Amino acid sequence: MNTYTYVFIFLLSIPNYLLAEGSGNSRSIFADSDLEHVFTEEMNIEPPLIHFESGHHLLKLSEKMEAALAAYNPIFKAWKTEDYTQSIVDSLKHDGENSAPFAFIKNINQDDKPDVIIDGFNGKEPETIAIISNNDDYQVKHVASLHTYSDPKTVTSMNDGVAEHGLNYLLWPNKDEKTQAVNIFTVGFPQETDSEGELLSDGGLIDFHFENGEFVPYYPEF
């Protein structure tokens, strides 16, 4: 394994940072609306939140976040758990239930309100977006287009010589207290190897900074 692999594994060992703030009613932007039943009135955590149930991750947004997303693009959908390779899904198991490969919750603009990064499909192409607090409301910002695949099941990658189908990357927030105000999150792409462990495709990392109200990609060197 080269340096990218070690860094990728190390960063995956860091639990995702989730805030449990927000108010109002909410609905899921997850494509499988039948998973709504996992959220009951007895839950005392207000959205936004991420929940894992029966092998699926469900992202729940607050009412204000939903309104901002509807104004930006009413047909945007987050990717689903089954859109990712099994290796990516398994890599999140040690983080507990509050993690998803396609989303995380974080105070991006340092105003003590929860914001959300979501990776999904906008109806025409893949898109990563941010729903960020704006005084008492929310706004949506374009972050990036990480690939060109409209159907994740057409994507094939190799893990120790075993072919896997689905998106082979994930997002996670930066938790370093010294840099997290600017360096918001990282996208990690693992290496691909054959059955002998020989490298087929090198992995990589992309850091996304929030500068002057916009997201800027940086490619770390090791």
For 30, the token pair is: 């997850």
For 44, counting Cβ atoms within 10 Å of its Cβ (0-12 exposed, 13-18 middle, 19+ buried), the class is exposed
Mind giving me the DSSP string for 34-93?
A: GGGGG--TT--PPSSEEEEETTEEEEE--HHHHHHHHHH-TT-EEPPGGGB-HHHHHHTG
Q: What is the pLDDT of residue 151?
A: 94
Q: In the chain, at which residue ranges do the beta strands (DSSP E only) sit?
A: 49-53, 56-60, 77-78, 103-106, 115-121, 126-134, 137-144, 156-159, 162-165, 170-173, 183-189, 192-193, 199-201, 204-211, 214-218
pLDDT means per 10 residues, the chain with 222 residues, are 42 36 43 46 71 84 97 97 92 61 92 95 97 96 94 91 93 86 92 86 92 93 64
Q: What is the pLDDT of residue 5?
A: 43
Q: What is the pLDDT of residue 31?
A: 47
Where are the chain's structural domains? 3-218
Q: What is the pLDDT of residue 29?
A: 54
- pTM for the predicted model, two decimal places: 0.78
Query: In this structure, what DSSP letter does residue 167 have?
Result: B
For 152, the token pair is: 């994740």
For 124, the token pair is: 């025409």
